[in-house]
């Protein structure tokens, strides 16, 4: 889940009877499964929540380029290098669609960058973990993209049209990302003992942070309830986490790996796995900026932005000059 703990400004979810006619008409359309489009009336809280969620999602794609980009120059074969480049490029593309989707809600990309750089806007906790070996690249595809898909498939049915549509294309690409990650790991576990050990080590480090991607239990959260009422969110964090564990455990087994959770076992009665609780203290620390790579990730993004200021200014200046020249030529011609 690339958007975690998104606030809604709601104190509680109001019933239809408590709404004025305009808001009630909006809610009834949402309830009926209709899409809300940019120029239509929407409650301010709905708009703000979407801006928070979509920008957080976009920032996650952009910051997410860094841990994987870290291994492009060290990819072990030309084919793996090409696949990884294509994947990171897709992520930049996802960032672009998502910033565009957020822009339909009245915020500019530059404003969103400003919020990211100042620390006001968050991005997914997962990208604050380091990629230490090549197996981490496979593990990110398998686990991180796998968890993202869990969240993003239902988002294709989100009530806000531009976000839902962006998600359709993104989901297709994410599914390729997950497969390539699993494929890279499959190749390694069939390889030498050192390669297999590398994969197990990656699973040991990425398992719990992947479960944390869904966020803490939100059964009692008013923000989640409001987001669900607005159909921005479709499932609870625990539901998605359970689904992810149930999907992933057999895949780990197929790879011949051990999931690093002593409490993990199949529960016949519920038809799903029982599993341990992630370390939420660690999660809140990472969210608060104390993860292993928070400072580096943000610094890298700020540096790219600041170092590139002359480039962006240069292009803007050229566009203005070109426009002036066209205008002058037009006057001369008249």
Partner 1 sequence: MATAALETAVDQAALLEFLLRIGDNALILGHRVSEWCGHSPALEEDIALANTALDLIGQTQLWLGLAGEVEGKGRSADDLAYLRDGYDFRNILLVERPNGDFGKTLMRQFLFDAWHYLLLKALKGSTETRIAEIAEKAFKEVSYHLDRSRDLVIRLGDGTAESHRRMQEALDDLWPYTGEMFAADAVDAALVEAGIIPEPQSLKAGWDEIVAEALAEGTLKKSADGYMHKGGRRGVHTEHLGFILSEMQFLQRAYPGATW
Place of tokens 């290098």: 81
169 near partner 1 (CB under 8 A): no
59 near partner 1 (CB under 8 A): no
Rounded to a whole number of angstroms, the minimum distance from the CB of residue 258 to partner 1 is 22
Q: Which is nearer to partner 1, 113 or 214 (CB)?
A: 113
Contact 140, 206 (CB under 8 A): yes
CA–CA dist 216, 239 (Å, integer): 11
Q: Which is nearer to partner 1, 36 or 101 (CB)?
A: 101
92 near partner 1 (CB under 8 A): yes
Residue range at the interface with partner 1 (CB under 8 A); choices 140-148, 267-275, 282-290, 305-313: 305-313
Residue range at the interface with partner 1 (CB under 8 A); choices 90-98, 162-170, 207-215, 252-260: 90-98
CA–CA dist 151, 233 (Å, integer): 9
311 near partner 1 (CB under 8 A): yes
Residues in the chain, how many?
Answer: 334
Residue range at the interface with partner 1 (CB under 8 A); choices 151-159, 269-277, 287-295, 313-321: 313-321
Rounded to a whole number of angstroms, the minimum distance from the CB of residue 24 to partner 1 is 39
By CB under 8 A, the residues from 99 to 138 that bind partner 1 are 99, 109, 134
CA–CA dist 1, 57 (Å, integer): 9
Alpha-carbon separation of residue 23 from 29, 48, 52, 133 (angstroms): 10, 15, 21, 52
CA–CA dist 171, 157 (Å, integer): 12
Binding pattern to partner 1, positions 200-239, x when CB under 8 A?
Answer: ----------------------------------------
224-244 exposure pattern, b = at least 16 Cβ within 10 A, e = fewer: bbbbbbbbbbbbbbeebbbbb
Residue range at the interface with partner 1 (CB under 8 A); choices 8-16, 89-97, 117-125, 257-265: 89-97
256 near partner 1 (CB under 8 A): no
Binding pattern to partner 1, positions 177-206, x when CB under 8 A?
Answer: -------x--xx-xxx-xx-----------
CA–CA dist 36, 60 (Å, integer): 24
Q: Which is nearer to partner 1, 171 or 300 (CB)?
A: 300
119-129 exposure pattern, b = at least 16 Cβ within 10 A, e = fewer: eebbbbbbbbb
Q: Which ranges in 271-308 belong to alpha helices (H)?
A: 280-285, 294-307
263 near partner 1 (CB under 8 A): no
Cα atoms found within 13 Å of the Cα of residue 40, Cβ hemisphere only: 17
Residue range at the interface with partner 1 (CB under 8 A); choices 9-17, 30-38, 87-95, 116-124: 87-95
CA–CA dist 205, 236 (Å, integer): 25
Rounded to a whole number of angstroms, the minimum distance from the CB of residue 290 to partner 1 is 22
Residues in contact with partner 1 by the rule CB under 8 A: 62, 65-66, 69, 72-82, 85-86, 88-89, 92-93, 95-96, 99, 109, 134, 184, 187-188, 190-192, 194-195, 300, 303-305, 307-319, 321
């Amino acid at each position: 889940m690339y958007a975690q703990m998104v606030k809604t400004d709601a104190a509680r979810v109001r019933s239809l009877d408590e709404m004025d006619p305009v808001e009630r008409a909006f809610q009834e359309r949402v309830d009926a499964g209709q899409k809300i489009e940019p120029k239509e009336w929407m409650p301010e809280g709905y708009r703000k929540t979407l801006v928070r969620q979509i920008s957080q999602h976009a920032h996650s794609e952009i910051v997410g380029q860094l841990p994987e980009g870290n291994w492009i120059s060290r990819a072990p074969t030309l084919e793996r290098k090409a696949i990884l480049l294509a994947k990171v490029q897709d992520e930049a593309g996802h960032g672009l669609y998502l910033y565009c989707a957020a822009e339909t809600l009245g915020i500019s990309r530059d404003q969103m960058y400003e919020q990211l750089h100042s620390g006001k806007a968050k991005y997914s906790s997962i990208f604050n973990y380091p990629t230490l070996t090549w197996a981490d690249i496979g593990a990110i595809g398998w686990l991180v993209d796998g968890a993202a898909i869990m969240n993003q498939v239902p988002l294709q049915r989100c009530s806000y049209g531009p976000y839902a549509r962006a998600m359709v294309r993104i989901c297709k690409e994410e599914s390729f990302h997950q497969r390539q990650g699993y494929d890279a790991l499959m190749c390694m576990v069939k390889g030498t003992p050192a390669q297999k050990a590398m994969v197990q080590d990656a699973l040991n480090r990425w398992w719990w942070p992947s479960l944390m991607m869904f966020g803490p239990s939100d059964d009692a959260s008013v923000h989640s309830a409001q987001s669900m009422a607005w159909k921005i969110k479709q499932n609870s964090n625990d539901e998605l986490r359970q689904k992810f564990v149930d999907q992933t455990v057999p895949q780990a087994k197929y790879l011949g790996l051990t999931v690093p959770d002593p409490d993990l076992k199949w529960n016949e009665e519920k038809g799903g796995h029982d599993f341990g609780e992630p370390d939420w203290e660690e999660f809140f620390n990472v969210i608060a900026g104390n993860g292993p790579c928070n400072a580096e990730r943000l610094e890298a993004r700020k540096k790219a932005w600041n170092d590139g200021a002359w480039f962006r200014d240069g292009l803007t200046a050229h566009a203005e000059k070109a426009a002036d020249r066209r205008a002058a030529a037009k006057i001369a011609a008249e």
